[in-house]
Structure 1
Amino acid sequence: MGALMEYEPIIGLEVHAQLLTRSKIFCGCSTTFGALPNTHTCPVCLGMPGSLPVLNENVVEFTIRMALATHCQIAAISQFARKNYFYPDLPKGYQISQYELPLAEKGWVEIETQRGPQRIRINRIHMEEDAGKLIHDEFQPVSHVDFNRTGVPLIEIVSEPDLRTPEDAASYLKMLRETLRYLEICDGNMEEGSMRCDANISLRPVGTERLGTKTELKNMNSFRNVQRALEFEIRRQRALLEKGETIIQETRLWDTGRNTTVSMRGKEEAHDYRYFPDPDLVAIVIDEQWIERVRGSLPELPDAKRERFMRDYELPPYDAQVLTSSKALADYFEAAVQRFAQPKLVSNWIMSELLRELKKDEKDIEGCQVTPQQLAELLELIDKDIISGKIAKSVFQEMYTTGRSAAGIIDDQGLKQVKDESAIESVIDEVLAENNKEVELFRGGKEKLFGFFVGQVMKKTKGKANPKLVNEILRKKL
């Protein structure tokens, strides 16, 4: 029996990002999340006869920002099209999107993979309106429709099939989310649906160029679920191919409860939607002056910030990666370093103490009660030997819980370090008198017992004795 054929996955992602405009793409209705059903609607977004769409300029501006950040070519003229399909949450019977003339094409982003840095090409970025939302009744066989989301502006970012592993797909998604958040055009919240991902995946024999039959995966609301759905689909397709069976081109849903993909429907092709230019909307003309104005307003992006953090603050790549994972966290770090100019120490405290607590409470840095200035003040107190590193950790816990300053907590709880040499010497004498046997063993060559004596002194002083003085006096005494 011959060896089994090796297959490689070919993965492309379609990412929808909800833009952070105050009003919808073609009308003045609010885009605020969580309002009562059907309260943010009007004749335009409900598709009433005689109503006409008017394009929100901020949507175009935000899309240009993302196009520039991902090295896309921006079209001088782009056009909206009608994508026709019938679904209960689509009141007009069509979605206004872009088809033949998208706003941006031929871009790329770079991600880190196990094979080193990889450039992932972006086929296109286009604007479109969102559909409504179906709410299924738990107690009776009916569904309700909430049209608040109808007409909320989206951009769709379509990659080329350049991804080769589920891990690469998760890295690419994280990179897009970081970029969207840095640009402040999308909050990237996959759980609330403001960033959504569909994946196209096929397998082909290693060494061949021809693409296999693909399936489209939907209903993945986290990076982890995208990765797990792709891993399952790779196993499913490989098993079929090894048995000589055919892959069916279809749309499949990820079932989080059972950790499997399940068939939803046969995959539509573009011609099924009968695209044609929207007669109610004129072409969008973007000149170089507009592009350059937007380019001038772009913030420092994640890759550039990482490079600067490694260069200017002499941080290792891992620290720079963690600290720039969100703009708010990077700003927090820089504000702390401005007050306490020891970047690596600030980085260590943020990555260990601060991020651990935030993760435990499922909070972002914006929800942290400890300000960058308060963290810097705490590190200054350690640096000046006012408190020990160990006591600083318990002080930090109190700061995190209450939002109080380090100095106030230290004063209230009497936590300042004991620097009085005679007081420390007196405690050391007590420890040595109580541990005659260990003293003899130490003097007989058992050097490791030194740590035992330090520990006993710190215990008696409740951690307040200055460690440097304890070590110096203890050495002399022994």
Structure 2
Amino acid sequence: MSTNPSFRGFEAVIGIEVHVQLKTDSKIFSADATTFDSADNENTSPVSVGMPGTLPVLNKKAIEYAIKTGLALGCHIRKKSVFSRKNYFYPDLPKGYQISQYDEPICEKGSIQFEVEGKSKTVGITRAHLEEDAGKSTHFGQYTLINYNRAGIPLLEIVSEPEMHSPAEAAEYCRSIRSIVRYLEVCDGNLEEGSLRCDCNVSVRKVGDTKFGTKVELKNINSFRFVEKAVEYEIHRQIDAIENKEKIVQETRLYDPDKNRTFTMRTKEDAQDYRYFPDPDLLPIIVSDAQLSQIKKELPELPLIRAARFVKDMQLSTHDAHLLTEERDLADYFEASGKACNNYKAAANWIITELLRELNDAKLSVSQSKVSAKNLADLIAEVDKGTISGKIAKTVFKEMWDSGSTPADIIKAKGLVQVSDPGEIEKIVADVLAANPDQVAEFKAGKDKVVGFFVGAIMKASKGKANPGLVNEILMKKLKE
């Protein structure tokens, strides 16, 4: 799929709001816990269920996390930002309003860069503002249950400019935001649990038009694959409507992944419908130069910059570098392993081909791997020294994964040390040649392909332990005698 395609003569215009649940221990305006797996309505208090007379108290850590994220996205950080009341009525919003930021958000005017199908793409960030999350309603036909555990969890809403034009760009943008907030350790990025949710604003216009079409919001999409599929469906739904002379309505729609279609949730409100006004119970947030300077110092190396360094300093391919920097723990593991064995390319190959396969099969993160970065480095060093062959190393790795043992212990226990004594290999080669005179005659007659047969027979005779380089060298010398 092209990153800026024409859809039947139409162009899609996409902006995205990513709601990031900040990984604080307590809620944004109360001391209630934020643990996901608590019993229904366990993490509540008079503040988070909106009892009359309660007052909010701002969580300092949420402010720090918002600033850190804003800096990573290249945003201007306001020295003074303000909380407002966003008024709307819904059962999971107990106060009848949400405390959010409106005209004076803490972060604004940033950008994010990412790659789509090998091409660089930059998308502007309009703003990133703090707000409280709502509760959760679960509908059961004639009745609805409400769980207020989520009510009051701090959210950072990151709002993009409408600068994406394809489903692929939309999905990659969301992946990049997730990668950054996980690198910063401000959010766990768990889409299944709702700690990162994507709202996509989609409109279409004729190619060449500069005026925006009527936008439709696709609400609370919790998978990058669903982002791509929902946006794709919505683009074609709007084009179909326009071609049938139907009017596009500004509304909020939900995506049904089972039916791969969107459906109306509610008519979309404009800002004036929310009747924003400054929250009288909260003072403005004042960010000092010293606080800003300290948070800047704590910023980690971000994925795109780290990937570029891996390409430049460690001679990795662009594909491998981006794969290894998707998660901070994986990038740390790779650097530790490569440094310990002084062979970054080998470390990258082992991680991508062997370690990631085992992790994916077991549904584990790299931090849960039984093969430590040091043990992987030791295995690579054994191959580089010629102690074991690459083929035997794969057997050793599997044992390391299953048992957690060191490569040295496995090699010793199983007697896997590579045979590198020329005299010993020469004897094995001579025995194999003597046992296969017909194949020797074929080689003498010019059939070079028979060499592979001899190498296989020699490796089998040595139980895979013969040094492959020496085998080839001695075999060719013997055959030409």
TM-score normalised by structure 1 residue count: 0.96
Distance 1:116 1:471 in 2: 44
User: Equivalent residues in 2 for 1:166-315 (5 A)?
Assistant: 166-315=167-316
Task: Give the deviation of 1:9 after TM superposition.
Answer: 0.4
Distance 2:470 2:311 in 1: 35
> Contact between 1:182 and 1:301, CA under 8 Å: does it hold in 2?
yes
245-254 or 102-111, which deviates more: 245-254
Q: Does 1:11 align with 2:10?
A: no
162-171 or 267-276, which deviates more: 267-276
Q: 1:92 aligns with which of 91, 95, 98?
A: 95
Q: Does 1:131 align with 2:131?
A: no
Task: Give the deviation of 1:151 after TM superposition.
Answer: 0.6
Which residue in 2 is equivalent to 1:56? 59
Q: 1:68 aligns with which of 50, 67, 71?
A: 71
Unaligned runs of 5+ in 2: 1-6
Distance 1:339 1:435 in 2: 45
Task: Give the deviation of 1:19 after TM superposition.
Answer: 0.4
Which residue in 2 is equivalent to 1:42? 45
> Contact between 1:20 and 1:185, CA under 8 Å: does it hold in 2?
yes
Task: Give the deviation of 1:428 after TM superposition.
Answer: 2.1
User: Equivalent residues in 2 for 1:249-398 (5 A)?
Assistant: 249-398=250-399
Distance 2:363 2:30 in 1: 35
Task: Give the deviation of 1:5 after TM superposition.
Answer: 6.1
Distance 1:427 1:289 in 2: 72
SS state of the match for residue 447, structure 1?
coil
SS state of the match for residue 259, structure 2?
coil
CA displacement 1:334-377 (0-9 Å, x = unmatched):
11122111111111111111111112222221111111000000
Task: Give the deviation of 1:434 after TM superposition.
Answer: 3.1
Which residue in 2 is equivalent to 1:143? 144
CA displacement 1:94-134 (0-9 Å, x = unmatched):
11111111111111111223483222011110000111122
TM-score normalised by structure 2 residue count: 0.95
Amino acid at match of 1:375: L
Distance 1:472 1:302 in 2: 44
> Contact between 1:17 and 1:194, CA under 8 Å: does it hold in 2?
yes
CA displacement 1:317-337 (0-9 Å, x = unmatched):
222211111111111111112
> Contact between 2:114 and 2:304, CA under 8 Å: does it hold in 1?
no
Distance 1:345 1:113 in 2: 27
Distance 2:345 2:117 in 1: 26
Which residue in 2 is equivalent to 1:77? 80
Q: Does 1:477 align with 2:472?
A: no
Q: 1:24 to 1:474 in 2, by over 3 A?
A: same
Which residue in 1 is equivalent to 2:24? 21
Task: Give the deviation of 1:191 after TM superposition.
Answer: 1.2
User: Equivalent residues in 2 for 1:156-175 (5 A)?
Assistant: 156-175=157-176
Amino acid at match of 1:55: L
SS state of the match for residue 449, structure 2?
helix
Distance 2:23 2:377 in 1: 33
CA displacement 1:206-242 (0-9 Å, x = unmatched):
1110001111112421111101111111121222222
Which residue in 2 is equivalent to 1:461? 462
SS state of the match for residue 338, structure 1?
helix
CA displacement 1:189-220 (0-9 Å, x = unmatched):
11111000000001111111000111111242
> Contact between 1:5 and 1:205, CA under 8 Å: does it hold in 2?
no
Amino acid at match of 1:11: I
Amino acid at match of 1:130: D
Distance 1:130 1:226 in 2: 21
193-202 or 104-113, which deviates more: 104-113
Distance 2:195 2:8 in 1: 40
> Contact between 1:216 and 1:250, CA under 8 Å: does it hold in 2?
yes
Task: Give the deviation of 1:416 after TM superposition.
Answer: 1.3
Distance 1:49 1:375 in 2: 59
Distance 2:465 2:82 in 1: 70
SS state of the match for residue 154, structure 1?
strand
SS state of the match for residue 164, structure 2?
coil
Amino acid at match of 1:475: M
CA RMSD of aligned residues (A): 1.6
SS state of the match for residue 397, structure 2?
helix
Distance 1:85 1:397 in 2: 57
> Contact between 1:198 and 1:216, CA under 8 Å: does it hold in 2?
yes
SS state of the match for residue 113, structure 2?
strand
> Contact between 2:13 and 2:204, CA under 8 Å: does it hold in 1?
yes
Task: Give the deviation of 1:83 after TM superposition.
Answer: 1.2
Task: Give the deviation of 1:136 after TM superposition.
Answer: 4.1
Distance 2:71 2:174 in 1: 18
Which residue in 2 is equivalent to 1:105? 108
Q: Percent identity?
A: 51
SS state of the match for residue 453, structure 1?
helix
Q: 1:95 to 1:194 in 2, by over 3 A?
A: same
Amino acid at match of 1:465: A
Distance 2:118 2:439 in 1: 54
Which residue in 1 is equivalent to 2:3? none
Distance 1:353 1:114 in 2: 25
> Contact between 2:75 and 2:110, CA under 8 Å: does it hold in 1?
yes
Distance 1:154 1:445 in 2: 73
Task: Give the deviation of 1:299 after TM superposition.
Answer: 1.3
